[in-house]
Amino acid sequence: MVNSLSGYKSANLIATCDRNSNTNVAIFSSLVHLGSSPALVGFIMRPDSVARHTLDNIKQTDQFTINHVNENIWQQAHQTAARYPRDTSEFSATGLTERFVPGFTAPLIDESELCYMLKLAEIIPIELNGTLLVIGEIKTLFCNPNAIKEDGYIDIEHLGTVAISGLDSYHKTQRLSRLSYPKTDRKPSTISINGR
């Protein structure tokens, strides 16, 4: 019940590798935008009461990638949460495809249409419950160019990106509209996208 209270959350696969190039991927829904300059993204890591392969790999290599989950891979993405042994890559276990980019050891998810590479910036312990806020700085972005609008907005619906509620429910979305930034002296106007 408590997991449902924060509403729709983003569905992301975080992919890493350890110092011996063994890859790992797991689903995370706690992502938060922390700022654009520098471009920072954070996510909440559960307490280390069991092995946390994603966290261990990030600490070893200082790198990770974040990959949007879309309508074609949401079931495989969900399966990555299973507690596979350290020597089993969720890529082979779920059939997701890893893609490597020169100069970066953490893999991208080939099936994802919006992926970005991050360098570890800071890990902040939340003493209240033993969780961690893991913060990365975005270094490189890969996105289907058809979804990028003139002002930089990315039409993630065009990419088939899905949302999560609770811990097990996956959703397609339907945009109502984009709105201009609110000003005190006028009502916001709609910004058309894809003719809507």
Ligand X SMILES: Cc1cc2nc3c(=O)[nH]c(=O)nc-3n(C[C@H](O)[C@H](O)[C@H](O)COP(=O)(O)O)c2cc1C
Positions in the binding site for ligand X (CB under 6 A): 24, 26-30, 43-46, 52-54, 78, 81, 83, 164, 167
Closest CB 83 distance from ligand X, rounded Å: 5
In the complex with ligand X, which residue's Cβ is closer, 55 or 147? Answer: 55
In the complex with ligand X, which residue's Cβ is closer, 94 or 147? Answer: 94
In the complex with ligand X, which residue's Cβ is closer, 154 or 163? Answer: 163
In whole angstroms, give the CA distance from residue 108 to residue 117: 8
Closest CB 30 distance from ligand X, rounded Å: 3
Closest CB 39 distance from ligand X, rounded Å: 20
Are the CB atoms for 90 and 81 separated by under 8 Å?
A: no
If DSSP codes are grouped into helix, strand and coil, which group holds residue 132? strand
Closest CB 139 distance from ligand X, rounded Å: 21
Q: How many CA atoms lie within 13 A of 36 on its CB side?
A: 1
Q: DSSP for 149-161, please give it.
A: -TTS-B-TTTTTB
| DSSP character at residue 148 | B
